């Protein structure tokens, strides 16, 4: 079991130690559950009240903390406790699953596929014709990568993922279990003779560098051209990205949110959980869409939107306050 003194921990995050403790730290834990050998953190002043009841010996805290650590306890003050804690979590992270052989004997790899130096491919994987796997990529068991698709350097693809034909994933990406990249877009048109006629989806998906896609999320291929995710986008579990949508750099989509077809997101857009965006809508740089909101039209850069249909946050809050007063008045 690995253990660290407070001085060794502080060498990693370069904070300022307040208080003192000789307790060695063997793990991380939230305040309410921490034992004396575990380190925790206080990322917001509203959680200060939980410190006195916690058994943690050390906490990573923001510089504006207003309480004292107490006897044989210590704080490490930093500018951003959340970011510092991410470094501490990396210290205690367990090793990833072991590959005893770089390429498992049960993996099926087409003879025309290109496998980069140091890449690892697990049991039961299928790598199709003319597919390319970048150097040091890790493909966990039971992944399917179809014809002419590419996976970048150092990218990690977890079990159950399907990457359909001609899709391209950049370097340093993480694709979590059972994600689907490049399924057909949802395209049908009514026909009096045939009912609903399927529109062929002949485009692909292009994913930039440093993108993370959560478990069971779907990124549909374009009807023509490409569905595009820019560098650094972070996609949560159970997210739907419709065909021909285009995400700028560093966008965030929380769980159960969705984009209909041909949605355009600028850079740094944040979409809350269960929010939905209408097709052919453009969302400007830095927009925040609140959880559960429904966006039915274009949104200029920098706005925060709430509600269904979504309006500017301050207008939504006023509407809710008026409605609440009206409901209360009817009860009198």
CB 24 within 8 A of CB 3: yes
Q: What are phi and psi of 304, to 5 degrees?
A: -115, 125
Q: What are phi and psi of 7, to 5 degrees?
A: -65, -40
CB 84 within 8 A of CB 102: no
Q: How far apart are CA 195 and CA 213, in angstroms?
A: 35
In three-state form (DSSP H/G/I as H, E/B as E, the rest C), the secondary structure along 281-323 is CEECCCCEECCCCEECCCECCCCEEECCCCEEHHHHHHHHHHH
Tokens 């419709």 — which residue?
A: 242
Annotated catalytic residues are 243
Q: How far apart are CA 62 and CA 68, in angstroms?
A: 13
User: Which residue blocks in 59-189 are alpha helix, DSSP H?
Assistant: 81-92
Question: How far is CA 301 from each of CA 100, 298, 322, rounded to the nearest angstrom?
Answer: 50, 10, 28
Q: How far apart are CA 225 and CA 206, in angstroms?
A: 10
Rg (CA), the chain: 24
CB 50 within 8 A of CB 34: no
Coil, strand or helix: which one is 249? coil
Q: What are phi and psi of 270, to 5 degrees?
A: -120, 125
How many residues comprise the chain? 332
Q: Is the peptide bond before 309 cis (omega within 30 degrees of 0)?
A: yes
């Amino acid at each position: 079991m690995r253990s660290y003194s407070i001085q060794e921990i502080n060498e990693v995050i370069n904070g300022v130690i307040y208080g003192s403790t000789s307790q060695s730290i063997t793990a991380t834990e939230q305040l309410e559950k921490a034992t004396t050998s575990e380190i925790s953190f206080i990322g917001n002043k509203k959680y200060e009240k939980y410190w006195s009841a916690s058994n943690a010996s050390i906490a990573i805290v923001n510089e504006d903390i207003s309480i004292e650590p107490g006897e044989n306890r210590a704080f490490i003050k930093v500018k951003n406790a959340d970011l510092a804690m991410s470094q501490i979590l990396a210290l205690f992270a367990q090793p990833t699953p072991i590959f005893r052989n770089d390429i498992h004997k049960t993996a099926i790899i087409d003879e025309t596929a290109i496998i980069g130096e140091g890449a690892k491919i697990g049991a039961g994987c299928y790598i199709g014709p003319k597919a390319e796997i970048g150097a040091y990529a890790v493909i966990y068991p039971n992944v399917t990568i179809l014809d002419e698709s590419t996976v970048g350097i150092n990218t990690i693809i977890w079990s159950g993922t399907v990457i359909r034909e001609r899709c391209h994933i950049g370097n340093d990406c993480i694709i979590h279990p059972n994600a689907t990249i490049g399924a057909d877009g949802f395209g049908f048109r009514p026909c009096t003779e045939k009912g609903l006629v399927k529109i062929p989806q002949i485009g692909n998906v292009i994913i930039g560098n440093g993108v993370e896609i959560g478990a069971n999320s779907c990124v549909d291929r374009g009807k023509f051209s490409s569905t595009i995710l820019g560098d650094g986008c972070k996609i949560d579990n159970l997210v739907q990205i419709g065909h021909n949508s285009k995400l700028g750099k560093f966008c965030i989509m929380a769980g159960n949110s969705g984009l209909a077809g041909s949605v355009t997101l600028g850079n740094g857009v944040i979409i809350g959980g269960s929010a939905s965006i209408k097709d052919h809508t453009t969302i400007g740089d830095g927009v925040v869409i609140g959880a559960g909101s429904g966006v039915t039209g274009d949104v200029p850069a920098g706005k925060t939107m709430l509600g269904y249909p979504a309006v500017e946050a301050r207008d939504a809050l006023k509407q809710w306050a008026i409605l609440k007063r009206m409901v209360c008045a009817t009860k009198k």
